Amino acid sequence: MPKVLVIDIGNSQIKWACATATAVGAVREIPSSPAAIRLRFPKSLKADLAVVSSVVPALNGILRKSLHRRGIHKIHFLSAKTDLGIGICYPRPRTIGADRLANAAAAFQLFGGPAIVIDFGTAVTFDIISKKGEYVGGVICPGLRSMTDYLHEQTALLPRISLKEPRRMVGKSTVEAMRTGAVIGFRGLISEILSDLKKELRASRLPVVATGGYSRLIARKVKGISAVRPKLTLEGLRLIGLRLLAKT
Which is nearest to 47 in space by CA: 102, 106, 1? 1
DSSP 167: S
Query: Domain 4-79+237-246: which CATH class?
Result: alpha beta
Q: SS3 for 72?
A: coil
Annotation says 83 is catalytic? no
Please report the pLDDT score of residue 232 as a whole number.
97
Over residues 107-140, the pLDDT tens digits come to 999 999 999 999 998 889 999 999 999 999 999 9
Contact 114, 206 (CB under 8 A): yes
Over residues 49-82, the pLDDT tens digits come to 999 999 999 999 999 999 999 899 999 999 999 9
Hey, how many other C-beta atoms are within 10 angstroms of the C-beta on 100? 22
Please report the pLDDT score of residue 61 as a whole number.
96
Q: Superfamily for 91-144+175-230? A: ATPase, nucleotide binding domain (3.30.420.40)
pLDDT (tens digit, 0 to 9) for every residue of the chain, 248 residues total? 889 999 999 988 999 999 999 999 999 999 999 999 998 888 888 899 999 999 999 999 999 999 999 899 999 999 999 999 999 999 999 999 999 999 999 999 999 999 999 999 888 999 999 999 999 999 999 888 888 887 888 888 778 888 888 988 988 888 898 899 889 989 999 999 999 999 999 988 999 999 988 899 899 889 889 999 999 999 999 999 999 999 87
Q: Can 4-79+237-246 and 91-144+175-230 be said to share one CATH topology? A: yes
Contact 70, 95 (CB under 8 A): no
Hey, how many other C-beta atoms are within 10 angstroms of the C-beta on 73? 10
Please report the pLDDT score of residue 99 as a whole number.
95
Burial zone of 23 (CB within 10 Å; 0-12 exposed, 13-18 middle, 19+ buried) = exposed
- Domain assignments of the chain as residue spans, ordered by start: 4-79+237-246, 91-144+175-230
Q: Choose the catalytic residue: 8, 99, 119, 127.
A: 99
